[in-house]
Each structure stands twice: as C-alpha cells, then as structure tokens.
Structure 1
Amino acid sequence: MFLKQLQYLREIERHKSFSKAATACGVSQPALSRAIRLLEDELGVIIIDRKKKVFGITDDGARVLKWAHDILRGVSELRHEVSVTKQAIAGIVKIGVIPTAVHIVPILLEAVQERCGDFASEVHVLPNGSIIEKLVSKDLDIGIMYYDQCPQAKAFQVRTLYAEQQVLAASRSFRLPEGDDISWEAASRLPLALLTKEMRCRQLVDIGFQTAGVEPMIRLETSSLELIHAQVMIGKVAAILPISSFPLRVPPPGRLKIQRLPGFSPGAVGVVRLSEQAIPEFVSDVWDSVMKTRLQDDLDLLCKPVTASGRRL
C-alpha cells in the first residue's frame, strides 16, 4: 500500500485537487483521501493543509513529497533494470516528442539500433510543456521539442536537430501556382486545415499570415494530425504543416502537391535532456546516436517536386 500512497500523493501535487488526482489514479476520491490520511498517521506528520480554502502542502508535506519522488523514481529505475536483464537488451529509453516531430522518431531509433543493438523504447507524444515537466520528474530521458520552448537554464542540455520548414500540402484536385514555393497570400485563398492555436507550430503559421498581412480561410482546426492528413488526402482542404509531420520514409509520390512557404523564421526542433553528471550509459549512447543522425537531408527530399513517373527531382 505504501507505494500506492506515494503515487496518490504525487498526483495530488500534480493536479492540486483530490478529485482530479483520484480520477488520474483510477480510484474514488474517498479511497484516495483515506490513503493519504493513513500515510499521515504512519509518518506522524500533516501533509495536506486542509484548513486552507486554497489547496496547500505543509512544510512537512513538501519534505515527504521530495522523498516520494525519489522513491518512486528509484522503483521505476529498478523495474527497468529488471526488465532489461530479463529481456537481454541494451536498455530502455523513454522519449517525449511533440506531435509534429513524430515521424523523425523511427529514423532516430534506427540509428540507436545500429549503435547499441537490440533495445526497448517508450515514446510519448506530448506538448512542449509536458515534455519539460516529465524531464524534470525523470519520467522521460530525452525530449524532442521546439528549441525556443525549453527553459534557458543550466538544468537542461539542448541541441538543435533541424530547422522546421512550413509547407502547404494539397491533393491534385487543387490548382496551385507553378513552382516549388507558394506565397502566404496565395495560401490564404485556399480552404485550410490547421492545428489548434495553443500548438507552437500553429503559432508560427499565424505569424506567417500576419507578417504577410492576410487573413487565412480556415475550414478545420484540430489537434489531430491524422485528421488533417485524412482531410487533405480526400481533397477537402489544403493544410499548412511542418514537412516533418509527413512520413519521411514512405512519402506518397504524386499523391500530394507540397510547396514551401518562405518568408519568416522557422521553428527549430531540438533534443533535450537534464544536465546531470550521472547519466545512465545507455541513455548517453542514445543521445550520442541522435546527435550523429542527419535529418535535414530527409526533410529536404520531401520538398523536392515529383515527376510524372513519381520520382523526385
């Protein structure tokens, strides 16, 4: 029961709410409250200040929380060690990646495989803020996210992976201007599917339209890349997305028109980890493999025009 109580406590701190923590843990609120009361009785301290109208952790509670994080992290690392030993693999790496960079992950994992041999991975698709939180709590080993969204602190080590290139993608049913590029003005006249405004990628697109002084014709806003891809493929809308959000190894030659949108500073996607002296050897090997992987060539290839035979120039 002790580990469960620490897990409950961690979720209470994260959500600042007993009811939300109970939902996250899959238990009833009374059951979670009883478990915390029992933990307080066992330790002989008050963890949650229930007298305040606003949720609060006592000073003793803050010390307990620190130990809770350390214990739970140690248990997680022990389970990983046991799993690695049982599976006879090089290690397990936990990666967080923003949605628009998902398609670069297979290329990076392949590079790790070539360097380290057989291994296991956990890949979580998350927004920038969640990646930082999980790096700090050591629920992730490595993050792949927008470079400028990482706190400029010595606690983090950040390296650039590639400069993001925004492109307009449309089916052959759309008549687009000739050439490899399309202006923001021309793009604004097409029915568009865009990611939602809280996503950094969309914010960069909005900057592009604002800089050009035009208002886009938006027909779909969603957080789902899969939905945007589906709508584009059936010819309902065009989309503006980073080229990295399209499959890099299996592009659909001839099925989509892809044109670059020049004229503003692109976002930079980087790889992030905590700056700690004691980094597990396998995680260090994964980091080195990622650093040596060239992604820009694969991304540039997708921007090249396709001939009638389906070959890229």
Structure 2
Amino acid sequence: MFLKQLQYLREIERYKSFSKAASACGVSQPALSRAIRQLEDELGIVIIDRKKKVFGVTNEGARVLKWAHDILKSISELRNEVSVTRQAIAGHVKIGVIPTAVHIVPLLLEAVQARCGDFASEVSVLPNGTLIDKLVSKELDIGIMYYDQCPQAKAFEVRTLYAEQQVLAASRTFQLPEGEDISWDAASRLPLALLTREMRCRQLVDVGFQTAGAEPTIRRETNSLELIHAEVMEGKVATILPILSFPLRVPPPGRLRMLRLPGFSPGAVGIVRLSEQITSEFASDVWDIALNTNFQDNIDSLCKPRPVPPTA
C-alpha cells in the first residue's frame, strides 16, 4: 500500500469526482483510477461504489477512508516532529481561517510566541466549506470561522472567540457625519462595494439594512477583499466589513474613516477542532492560548477614531 493511493482516495472523497481529484493531485484520471483499483485489489474490498450515478463509498470504503485520514495525519505529524527537532522550535500548528477574520491570526501568533517561544505554523485562508473539509480530513489542527457556521456536532469542539465589529469604511473623498457612528439610512446613500451574498458577513449586512428599512446603493459585489480594499482606498466606493478584515497597518492615519452602524447585530467568530482527534501537545497549547487571549479589547480599540496627522 502506497501513501499516494491514500492521498488519491482522500481527494476523491473531497471532490466527489475522479477527474477533479486527479487534477488536484497533478496526475491523469486513468492513473488515479488505476491506483485506486490496485488499492482495492490489495485489500480485497470495493472502496468506491461505481454502480451509483451519484458518488459514494461502500461501508468497507468508509472504514478505509477513516484509516486513510488517520495514517496521513500521522505521517504529517511525524514529518512535523522531525522538522521541529531539527529546528529546535516549540512545535508546528496548521490553522485555517475565513477571509474576514484573517487579521486575528497575527494577534494569536504573537500570543503563542510570547508563551511558547519560537515555533512554526501554516495558515490557510479558506471559505467555510473547505475549512470544515480540511478539519475532517485532519489536514488542519484548528479552524477560525463564524460560530454559527461551525459544525454543531459531537465530532467537533467549538468555542466563541469574539463578537465581530463591522464598520462602514470610506476615504476622505466622501462627506461622512462627524462622530463615531453613521445611520443605516445615511450608509445606504453611499455607493457601496460589498461581499457577495453567499458570504456570512454580507448576510449580516443585508439584515442590518432590512431591519432599518433602507435600500443600499450597491455598486460592486465581489468575493475579493483585496478588490474592495483597493476601490475603497481609491475613493470610488465605501464598504461595510468587519474591522479585522482591513489591512490595518497599511492605510496611513487619516486616509480611511471607519464608522460604527448602530443596532448592527454582530456575528460571533469561533474556534473549532475535531473533538476526537489526538492533536499534538503544541496544537493543544495553541488552542488553549486562543481561548485565553482577549481579542475583544483589540477589536474595540481599532474602532476608535484615528487622529488625522497635521498638514504641513
């Protein structure tokens, strides 16, 4: 039995397609199919139910898949352990995070560094579905995502990290009200760039406008935070996003104003992992550090107005 066969099997389960799995693995579909046939012959069982029009695995195949995930996870941990030993570092952790929570990661990693010393990490920015899949396949140790999007099942352990703070952000080219707040009605009259409707962040924004009885002026819809940031900084549009989704260290003070929207129902961002998974001691330490780090104070401080530098 070769590790490549188990990797192929994992990707087939993920994509529910031989052709997509082959593309993800960088091999031809015939080569991938042949490898799975060889694995089935070696084990003396049928793993993939090829009689059904819809992809499925047999009962025996489901057990093989579980072993495949465990074996591949163990191999990954072994490689990480060897790397940790060679580099003389505290450990290695794999974290997945949704795009709108990406700036929580530096805060977490700083807290881990302060507690544990030098360490290695892999951070993947992923949509909810992919993040969950990678937790299930044990390719991630920890996921950070909207709490209400986390799987509420015994197989997962879920905890809340912080309440999200969404703000309206615009450059100084727009005339915005003085103070720290803006009404939903005033926000609706600005040309807005928003995330697409399937994203949880956008759904919360839509609820805010609907509750206020306001119809937003939408000029851009995209799943790219980078595009929204670029257009906002160019002064073409305003936006409503979680404050932690902005490249906070990039805009100089005064270039961007951020105003709170009264009555906004914030989403809760949570941390999730497989409850049954035997993680490394270091990954468990990172989990505990995340739960004991006060992210809320950092978010609240970011929502305060930033001073405008004096003009020459």
Q: Name the TM-score class by shorter chain.
A: over 0.9
Map 1:1-313 → 2, pairs under 5 A: 2-248=2-248, 252-276=252-276, 278-309=278-309
Q: CA RMSD in A?
A: 1.8
Q: Distance in 2 between matches of 1:151 and 1:44?
A: 34
Assess, with a 3 A threshold, how the Cα gap between structure 1 residues 158 and 63 changes in structure 2: closer, same or farther: closer
Question: How far apart are 1:185 and its partner, in Å?
Answer: 0.8
Once residues 101 and 50 of structure 1 are traced to their aligned partners in structure 2, the CA distance between those partners, rounded to angstroms, is 40
Q: Does the residue aligned with 2:93 lie in a helix, a strand or coil? A: strand
Q: Is the 8 A contact 1:248 1:299 kept in 2?
A: no
Give the SS at the match of 2:103.
helix
Q: What's the CA shift for 1:130?
A: 2.4
Q: Distance in 2 between matches of 1:232 and 1:251?
A: 11
CA spacing shift, 1:67–1:213, aligned 2, 3 Å: same
- Does structure 2 conserve the Cα–Cα contact (< 8 Å) formed by 1:248 and 1:298? no
Does the residue aligned with 1:158 lie in a helix, a strand or coil?
A: strand
TM-fit CA distance, 1:204: 0.3
Deviation at 1:155, TM superposition (A): 2.9
Amino acid at match of 2:119: F
Aligned-residue offset at 1:53: 2.7
Q: Which stretches in structure 1 are left out of the alignment for 5+ residues? A: none
C-alpha distance in structure 2 between counterparts of 1:89 and 1:164, whole Å: 33
Q: Judge which range, 103-112 or 56-65, deviates more.
A: 56-65
Deviations 1:156-198 (A, max 9, x none): 3322222111111101000112221111111111110111111
Stretches of structure 2 that go unaligned for 5 or more consecutive residues are none
In structure 2, distance between residues paired with 1:297 and 1:66: 41
In 2, the alpha carbon distance for the partners of 1:60 and 1:158 equals 30
How many residues are matched?
310
Alignment check: 8 A CA contact 1:192 1:239 kept: yes
**3-state secondary structure, aligned to 1:265:** coil
Q: TM-score, normalised by structure 2?
A: 0.93
Instruction: Give the TM-score, by structure 1 length.
Output: 0.93
> Percent of counterpart pairs with the same letter?
81
1:24 aligned counterpart, secondary structure = helix
| Displacement after TM superposition at 1:128 (Å) | 2.2
Q: CA deviation at 1:251?
A: 5.6
Change (3 A) 1:306 1:50: closer
Contact 2:10-2:137 within 8 A present in 1 as well: no
2:154 counterpart SS class:
coil
After superposing the two structures, state which structure 1 stretch, 193-202 or 70-79, moved more. 70-79
Q: Distance in 1 between the 2:184 and 2:194 partners?
A: 14
Provide Cα deviations, 1:78-119, integer angstroms capped at 9, x if missing partner: 111111111111100111111011112111101100110110
From the superposition, tell whether residues 235 and 18 of structure 1 become closer, same or farther in structure 2 (CA, over 3 Å): same
Deviations 1:231-275 (A, max 9, x none): 000101001001111245566311111110121321011222233
Stretch of structure 1 that moved more, 41-50 or 20-29 = 41-50
Hey, what's the Cα distance between the residues in 2 that align with 1:135 and 1:191?
A: 38
Q: Find the aligned partners of 1:224 and 1:54 in 2 and give their Cα distance.
A: 32
1:142, 1:53 → 2: CA distance? 34
> 1-side partners of 2:103 and 2:54: how far apart?
43
Q: Which amino acid in structure 1 is aligned with residue 183 of structure 2?
A: S
CA contact (8 A) 2:14 2:133 kept: no
CA-to-aligned-CA distance 1:176-232 (integer Å, 9 cap, x gap): 122211111111111101111111101100111111112111111111111111100
Distance 1:251 1:301 in 2: 16
